[in-house]
Amino acid sequence: MTTTTAPRTYGNFKPARRRLIGGMGPLGVAVAAAFAMLTLFTLSVIGFQAAIVVAVFGVVVVVPLMVRWGGRTIAERVARRALVGLGRLGRQHVYRAGVVSRIPGRTRLPGLLHDSQVVEVETGRADYPRVGIVILPRVKHFSVSLRCDTSGTDLVDSETIDTWVARTGGWLRSLSEEPGLIQAQVTVETAPDPGTRLAAAVSAQVTDAAPDLARSVLEQVVSEYPRAAPQVDTRVTLTWALPKPRRPRSGGPRRAMTPDEMCVRIASRLPGLMEMLRGTGAGDTRPMAPEELAAVCRSAYDPAAASLLSTDSAEAVAWVDAGPVAAHEEWDHYRHDSGVSMSWGLAEAPRGIIHATVLPRLMAATPGLLRKRVTMVWHPMTPEQAANAVDMDVRDARFRAAQKARPGARELADIASANAVAAAEAEGEGQIRFSLMVTATVGSVDELDAAEDTVRQLSASTRLRLRPQYGSQAAAFAAGLPVGVVLSRHAHIPS
């Protein structure tokens, strides 16, 4: 007699934004309450007509904070348009580097990464003697990327996949205990294999004494196999924030940790973090060196250079040369050197349950695209933050239900879901905020429509609702690179 095990499902995803009265968040409720109090004060001190004027002005201000269209309020849309317009007036959407540029340096990375630096740390280990750490001085963030040798989920039984998912959850839960770690992301990048890597590997194994038949077979394999085999790169990027200045135990003024000290501290933490990745399906992992980070960024901005950078004879790319010669951001796409990209972000998590095979379909290689990056982003929460978040979620769910004389099924379901999450958190389960981004790169603007249709079809099959990142294409493009861009720290519009 055989027994069948039901496939494991995952769900109960909840939006991070708070919804209180009228669907407004805390800021909208505070503004509405302030105008209500100001109206009452004006009525008691000045008179009825003045109070009417204040009330009308309050309605004009509050209504854009309440009305939502496509997941965003009118106020958010107006603010986004205004910021994009100001940026275009300042020519911030155009980037030129090289000999025709006024920007000092060579071809540095544009936008949020214009002041980025890479520090090389010697580890003294045989498996990875050097580690490249990307520093964003303006926000004081330090990021390290791990290259993973994954084997995928093909021909892997469901029990093994469930084990990988469970261990990945344990790894994410352990990140909440890592001091100073503010973001973790996993990026799966697919591109047509240029064939240079296979040719280099084969040429290194062929000897002069090899039989002619064997040599001809290998030459045929090298010439034909890359046409059908995509190149898949998986990277894990961890980002730390510089700790606040502390007063030395021996006394004296507060002292901030220097960038060099922070880099040494991160390098010392990597062995433990990499050990925890074992068993998650990541395979063998190793930190990326500075020249590898630069080559990845250069290939992203200039897809035509990817085949040249993948050869053994290619010169190492310096960080100051990792950017494009020219880039131009439009409302719905981003032009950069030899590529045109469009980026999408997760607008809403699946409302129902999903299976572990959802993301592999989205991350698989897609014909017709020069490059595609799918990036999962997690923001760990400390145990104290997780407890406060679930308690606040329970209070908000009950508050929304109390606003109605007879709560509907959705309000009651929200209360039950919040109570279930709170019970799981009380038993030791962790809480983490996540998002997802997709970037598709094609060769010309005319190919964007086909790329958009492809991504829309993939998102529909995975039950993920993706939306184009209008007005933020350059920032979304940079967020998928192994440089540790934390978008919330660069945003001008509060969430």
Does 372 lie in the same domain as 309? Answer: yes
Least trusted range by pLDDT, from 4-8, 141-145, 299-303, 372-376: 4-8
Domain annotation covers residue 63 = no
Tell me the pLDDT of the chain averaged across its residues. Answer: 83
More confident residue, 432 or 332: 332
pLDDT of residue 495: 54
Does 484 lie in the same domain as 377? Answer: yes
Residues 6+ apart with CB under 8 A from 38: 54, 58
Q: What is the pLDDT of residues 162-172, one digit of tens each?
A: 888 888 888 98
Does 329 lie in the same domain as 224? Answer: no
Domain annotation covers residue 32 = no
**Secondary structure class of 350 (helix, strand, coil):** coil
Q: What is the pLDDT of residues 53-72, one digit of tens each?
A: 888 888 888 777 777 776 67
Residues 6+ apart with CB under 8 A from 159: 5
pLDDT over 50 at 1, yes or no? no
Does 203 lie in the same domain as 188? Answer: no
| pTM for this prediction | 0.83
pLDDT of residue 290: 93
Instruction: Please name every residue paired with 372 in a beta bridge, in sequence order, or none if there are none.
Output: 190, 440
pLDDT of residue 43: 83
> Are 441 and 340 contacting, i.e. CB atoms less than 8 angstroms apart?
yes
Instruction: Provide the 8-state DSSP code for 92.
Output: T
Token readout for 448 is 């964007």
Band the pLDDT of 197: cuts 50, 70, 90: low
For the chain, the distance separating the N- and C-terminal CA atoms, rounded to the nearest angstrom, is: 55
Does 464 lie in the same domain as 444? Answer: yes
Residue range 448-464: mean pLDDT, rounded? 89
> Are 340 and 326 contacting, i.e. CB atoms less than 8 angstroms apart?
no
Give per-residue burial for 108-141: e unless 16+ CB within 10 Å, then b: bbbbbbeebebbebebeeeebebbbbbbbeebbb
Residue 187, judged by CB atoms within 10 A of its CB (0-12, 13-18, 19+), counts as buried
Total count of domains within the chain: 2
Three-state SS annotation for 205-219 = HCCCCCCHHHHHHHH
Domain annotation covers residue 206 = yes
Does 325 lie in the same domain as 370? Answer: yes
More confident residue, 203 or 490: 490
Band the pLDDT of 75: cuts 50, 70, 90: confident
Domain of 214?
Answer: 195-229
Domain annotation covers residue 83 = no
More confident residue, 10 or 296: 296
Does 222 lie in the same domain as 356? Answer: no
Does 353 lie in the same domain as 208? Answer: no
pLDDT of residue 5: 67
Domain annotation covers residue 57 = no
Does 241 lie in the same domain as 213? Answer: no
Q: What is the pLDDT of residues 214-235, one digit of tens each?
A: 788 877 877 766 555 678 899 9
Band the pLDDT of 313: cuts 50, 70, 90: low
Domain annotation covers residue 34 = no
Domain annotation covers residue 452 = yes
pLDDT of residue 23: 63
CATH assignment of the domain containing 155: 3.40.462
pLDDT of residue 464: 85
Does 331 lie in the same domain as 206? Answer: no
* Maximum distance among all Cα pairs of the chain, rounded to whole angstroms: 103
Does 271 lie in the same domain as 224? Answer: no
Does 289 lie in the same domain as 215? Answer: no
pLDDT over 70 at 48, yes or no? yes
pLDDT of residue 70: 65
Residue range 22-48: mean pLDDT, rounded? 80
pLDDT over 70 for what percent of the chain?
A: 90
What is the torsion angle, in degrees rounded to the nearest 10, for the CA atoms of residue 75, residue 78, residue 81 and residue 87?
-80
- Name, of 3-7, 254-258, 438-442, the range with top average pLDDT: 438-442
pLDDT over 60 at 424, yes or no? yes
pLDDT of residue 198: 67
Domain annotation covers residue 392 = no
Residue range 306-332: mean pLDDT, rounded? 82
pLDDT of residue 21: 64
Q: How far apart are CA 411 and CA 397, in angstroms?
A: 7
